[in-house]
């Protein structure tokens, strides 16, 4: 059995943003652009991330600082961006994300990558609204390249239609609103309101790991961007990412080098340590 | 400073000098050594690791508690971290006081609390090549923390 292709990240930022009437990639939430948020989110899950753009956008300052994959295949739309990435790195699978998913979470990506079936052409979620495949938060396998080319040659343009008619693994939604996209000024205003007062505004935390936790996380510290409001939420999120074996009941937690309660409110810049059962002496 | 870590071998003579007091008629100390077996496994060496910032705070709190609970003069705990061979000293606790009773009691209190509360971890490397974090992996589920403290003495 051949091993699965490595997964790289592709953030689609080549859209015309016609309904929004301004560049969607540059919309800001909590001071950061959608493109930066999507890029950083993907970078927490895969080793390399690229931004998919049209040739005309390659010099745009919001995009130029990032590794780009410029549309090479003819035509327009997301299929062209996905095909261009598959052509540039034919041995890689791609975690393809639209840049306009403000509610997208680490949990949704962790779950997607864990459930991924590399033997299919793609692994995607079903829409929480209509049950149809969501092509723009999905893993596209190398073999999808030729199938997409044939689909496009036959006049196909819609990646959702492609997934509905080809061999794709479809997952139930992990979080009902994670894939809600934002297309109009009204939807943007609503998303800002929804994210604003909630802990969903991501904060950066420094996590230090010791002993068994360090070995299971594969690192002694990391900086994470998270919407976790408490150490309990954070532990659940990081357990999903690192596969910690100890249940929370057996651990203590410290924030800023002092023991604290699992329900303490976390703030940006906090240093968090999960403390497995101790064994001094 | 009543609690500290060292990466070098603990020297009990040096530590003991910090307890000297003209009003003390007694000094009790405890040494924890690396033993060659645990839970039926033959142990080759131990690796100690600590979350130093919090461990020193918690260790200082334990020493302060001992000074408040028992009529003693001085207390000190030195804990080794790093890789230790069988026979090496992992921890030293010393207490000086006017009389022996409270010196023994306070010394016992400090080592028991240190084992139970201070964020220090111990990985055992066995002769058969296996290894495991004590209280986290092998036989951990069956033990209460208190029982583990006694079994580890």
B115 contacts A279? CB cut-off 8 A: yes
Same domain, A143 and A217: no
Averaged pLDDT score across all residues of chain B: 90
The pLDDT of residue B46 is above 80? yes
Distance CA B39, CA B28 (A): 29
Mean pLDDT of B1-5: 95
- How much is the pLDDT for B152? 38
| Residues A54, A182, A224, A174, Cα dihedral to 10° | -110
In percent, how much of chain A has pLDDT > 70?
96
Domain final residue, candidates A195, A228, A251: A195
Averaged pLDDT score across all residues of chain A: 90
Q: What is the pLDDT of residues A166-179, one digit of tens each?
A: 999 999 998 888 89
Residue of B82, B121, B138, B151 to mutate, testing the A interface (most A Cβ within 10 Å of its Cβ): B121
Contacts of B122 in chain A (CB under 8 A): 279-280
Q: What is the pLDDT of residues A23-70, one digit of tens each?
A: 888 888 776 788 988 998 999 899 999 999 988 888 887 787 889 999
Domain final residue, candidates A162, A195, A228: A195
Q: For chain B, how many residues are written?
A: 153
DSSP per-residue codes, A195-232: HTTSTTS-EEEEEE--HHHHHHHTSSEEEEEE---SHH
Query: What b/e string do you get for A125-164 counting C-beta neighbours within 10 Å, with b at 16 or more?
Result: bbbbeeeebbbbbbbbbbbbbebbeebbeeeeeebbebbe
Same domain, A21 and A43: yes
- How much is the pLDDT for B150? 36
- How much is the pLDDT for A29? 79
Distance CA A150, CA A52 (A): 21
Helix pair angle (A106-115, A231-242), 10° resolution: 20
The pLDDT of residue B78 is above 90? yes
Domain final residue, candidates A195, A220, A236: A195
Mean pLDDT of A129-138: 94
For residue A149, the Cα-to-chain-centroid distance in whole angstroms is: 25
B137 contacts A212? CB cut-off 8 A: yes
What domain range includes position A237?
203-275
Which H or E element spans position B132? Answer: strand B131-133
Domains for chain B: give ranges and CATH numbers: 3-152 (3.90.1170.40)
The verdict on residue A164 lying in a domain is yes
- How much is the pLDDT for B118? 98
Q: How many CA atoms lie within 13 A of A208 on its CB side?
A: 18
Mean pLDDT of B92-109: 98
- How much is the pLDDT for A18? 74
């Amino acid at each position: 059995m051949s091993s699965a292709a490595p997964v790289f990240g592709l953030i689609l930022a080549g859209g015309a943003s016609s309904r929004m009437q301004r560049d969607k990639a540059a919309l800001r939430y909590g001071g950061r652009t959608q493109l930066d948020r999507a890029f950083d989110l993907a970078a927490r899950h895969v080793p390399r991330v690229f931004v998919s753009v049209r040739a005309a956008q390659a010099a745009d300052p919001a995009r130029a600082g990032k590794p780009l994959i410029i549309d090479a295949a003819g035509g327009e739309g997301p299929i062209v961006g996905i095909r261009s990435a598959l052509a540039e790195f034919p041995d890689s699978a791609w975690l393809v994300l639209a840049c306009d998913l403000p509610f997208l979470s680490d949990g949704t990506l962790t779950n997607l990558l864990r459930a991924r079936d590399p033997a299919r052409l793609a692994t995607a979620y079903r829409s929480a609204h209509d049950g149809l495949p969501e092509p723009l938060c999905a893993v596209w396998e190398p073999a999808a390249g030729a199938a997409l080319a044939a689909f496009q040659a036959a006049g196909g343009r819609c990646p959702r239609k492609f997934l509905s008619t080809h061999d794709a693994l479809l997952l139930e939604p992990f979080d009902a609103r994670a894939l809600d996209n934002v297309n109009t000024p009204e939807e943007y205003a609503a998303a800002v309101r929804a994210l604003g007062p909630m802990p969903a505004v991501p904060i950066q935390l420094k996590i230090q790991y010791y002993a068994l936790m360090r070995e299971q996380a594969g690192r002694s510290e990391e900086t994470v961007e998270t919407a976790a409001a408490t150490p309990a939420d954070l532990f659940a999120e990081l357990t999903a990412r690192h596969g910690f074996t100890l249940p929370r009941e057996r651990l203590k937690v410290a924030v800023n080098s002092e023991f604290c309660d699992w329900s303490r409110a976390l703030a940006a810049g906090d240093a968090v340590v999960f403390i497995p059962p101790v064994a001094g002496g | 400073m009543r609690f500290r870590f060292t990466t070098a071998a603990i020297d009990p003579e040096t530590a003991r000098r910090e307890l000297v007091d003209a009003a003390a008629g007694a000094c009790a100390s405890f040494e924890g050594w690396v033993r060659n077996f645990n839970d039926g496994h033959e142990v080759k060496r131990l690796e100690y690791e600590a979350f130093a910032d919090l461990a020193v705070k918690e260790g200082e709190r334990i020493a302060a508690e001992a000074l408040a609970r028992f009529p003693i003069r001085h207390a000190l705990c030195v804990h080794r971290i790093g890789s230790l061979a069988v026979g090496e000293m992992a921890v030293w606790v010393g207490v000086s006081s006017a009389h022996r009773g409270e010196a023994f009691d306070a010394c016992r209190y400090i080592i028991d609390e240190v084992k139970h509360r201070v964020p220090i971890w111990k990985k055992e490397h066995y002769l058969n090549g296996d290894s495991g974090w004590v209280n986290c992996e092998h036989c951990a589920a069956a033990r209460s923390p208190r029982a583990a403290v006694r079994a580890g003495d």
